[in-house]
């Protein structure tokens, strides 16, 4: 049944209100993206240098015994999955969850326990028969260093106590404002270089003391970098999704306006026909 002119006007107003909301959300996401990308770009050289220092320490510490370097039989794997706390960010969460599902479907003898960062991942996996060791649902897409440090401390404690023998992380890598992709990276344990690759660095006071002080900071830095990049990608995905929704609303408004104009013209034509018909009837 054809829509009346009043119904079309109501639908146009609804589409306009939706467009106002999505455009506002797009602007907010763009502002947050600019801020988070700036922080991410500024912190990247620091994180790269920390990785370089770790590499040098591992080369210079052959024979040093440390729990993070010990080779152990892997019986339980911890999988850290980073998703968002809020929706309306396109395929950001779906892509990360799909990568986690692919990992979980891979046949293996080890048990897998989930560490979920973000409400969307938790809402998805809490309904499935997969053990959830830890969950962190209050970051809100903000790189809060004390909270991230607490997450890292709990992961380290689980690893050192033997609850987990290996920790991997799935997060979303920020490529550009229009592109990002989920990635899988090993988090713990750390593998030393093979013998014969030892460098000429002199460590003072000694390798054990330096490694003990440095590793906890390095692991926290690694987690902070992954979450910061993931939050930047989240803002990017939300900005793109809201732009797409705004454009779709604009197309709908144009389509409904065209239908409204046609309905208005049809109504005017019918009125003219009725007037002409009535005039002819009077004459006749």
Average pLDDT value for the chain = 84
Greatest Cα pair distance in the chain: 117
Give the pair of three-digit tokens for residue 131: 């053990």
CA gap 183, 173 in Å, rounded: 6
Residue written as token pair 């010990």: 70
* pLDDT of 62: 63
Q: Which residue has better confidence, 270 or 105?
A: 105
Count of C-beta atoms within a 10 Å radius of residue 3:
14
Residue written as token pair 């003898």: 109
pLDDT grade, residue 1 (50/70/90)?
very low
| C-alpha torsion 214→35→229→242, nearest 10 | 160
* Tens-digit pLDDT profile for residues 91-146: 899 999 999 999 999 998 999 999 999 999 999 998 888 899 999 988 888 888 88
Give the pair of three-digit tokens for residue 239: 């900005």
Q: Which residue has better confidence, 280 or 167?
A: 167
* Tens-digit pLDDT profile for residues 207-249: 677 777 777 788 888 888 889 999 999 999 999 999 999 999 8
Report the share of the chain in percent with pLDDT over 70. Answer: 89
pLDDT grade, residue 192 (50/70/90)?
low
pLDDT grade, residue 197 (50/70/90)?
very low
Q: Is residue 190 over pLDDT 80?
A: no
Count of C-beta atoms within a 10 Å radius of residue 155:
24
Q: Is the pTM of this model over 0.75?
A: yes
In CATH terms, is domain 27-192+201-239 a member of 3.40.1380.10? yes
DSSP secondary structure string for all residues of the chain: -PPPHHHHHHHHHHHHHHHHHHHHHHHHHHHHHHHHHHHHHHHHHHHHHHHHHHHHHHHHTTT---TTT------EEEEEEE--SS--STTHHHHHHHHHHHHHHS--SSEEEEEEESHHHHHHHTTSSS-EEEEE---TT---HHHHHHHHHHHHHHHHTTS-SEEEEEEEEEEETTEEEEEEEEEE-PPPPPTT-------SS-HHHHHHHHHHHHHHHHHHHHHHHHHHHHHHHHHHHHHHHHHHHHHHHHHHHHHHHHHHHHHHHHHHHHHHHHHHHHH-
CA gap 187, 229 in Å, rounded: 15
- Own/partner contacts of 8-13, CB < 8 Å, gap of 24 or more, are 8/256, 8/259, 8/260, 8/263, 9/260, 11/256, 12/253, 12/256, 12/257, 12/260
């Amino acid at each position: 049944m054809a829509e009346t002119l009043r119904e079309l006007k109501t639908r146009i107003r609804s589409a306009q209100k939706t467009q106002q909301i999505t455009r506002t959300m797009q602007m907010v996401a763009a502002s947050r993206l600019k801020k988070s990308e700036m922080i991410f770009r500024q912190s990247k050289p620091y994180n790269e240098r920390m990785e370089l220092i770790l590499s040098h320490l591992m080369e210079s510490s052959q024979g040093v015994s440390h729990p993070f370097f010990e080779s152990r039989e892997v019986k339980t794997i911890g999988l850290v999955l980073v998703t968002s706390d809020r929706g309306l960010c396109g395929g950001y969460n779906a892509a990360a969850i799909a990568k986690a599902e692919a990992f979980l479907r891979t046949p293996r003898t080890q048990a897998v326990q989930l560490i979920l960062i973000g409400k969307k991942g938790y809402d998805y996996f809490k309904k499935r028969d997969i053990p959830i060791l830890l969950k962190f649902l209050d970051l809100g897409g903000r790189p809060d260093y004390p909270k991230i440090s607490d997450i890292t401390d709990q992961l380290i404690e689980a690893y050192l106590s033997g609850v987990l023998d290996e920790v991997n992380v799935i997060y979303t890598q920020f490529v550009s404002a229009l592109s990002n992709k989920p990635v899988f990276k090993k988090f713990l344990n750390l593998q030393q270089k093979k013998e014969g690759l030892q460098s000429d660095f002199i460590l003072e006071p000694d390798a054990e003391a330096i490694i003990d002080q440095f590793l906890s900071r390095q692991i926290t830095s690694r987690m902070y970098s992954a979450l910061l990049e993931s939050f930047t990608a989240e803002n990017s995905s939300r900005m793109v999704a809201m732009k797409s929704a705004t454009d779709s609303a604009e197309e709908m408004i144009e389509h409904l306006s065209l239908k409204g104009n046609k309905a208005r013209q049809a109504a005017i034509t019918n009125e003219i026909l009725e007037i002409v018909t009535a005039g002819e009837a009077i004459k006749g």
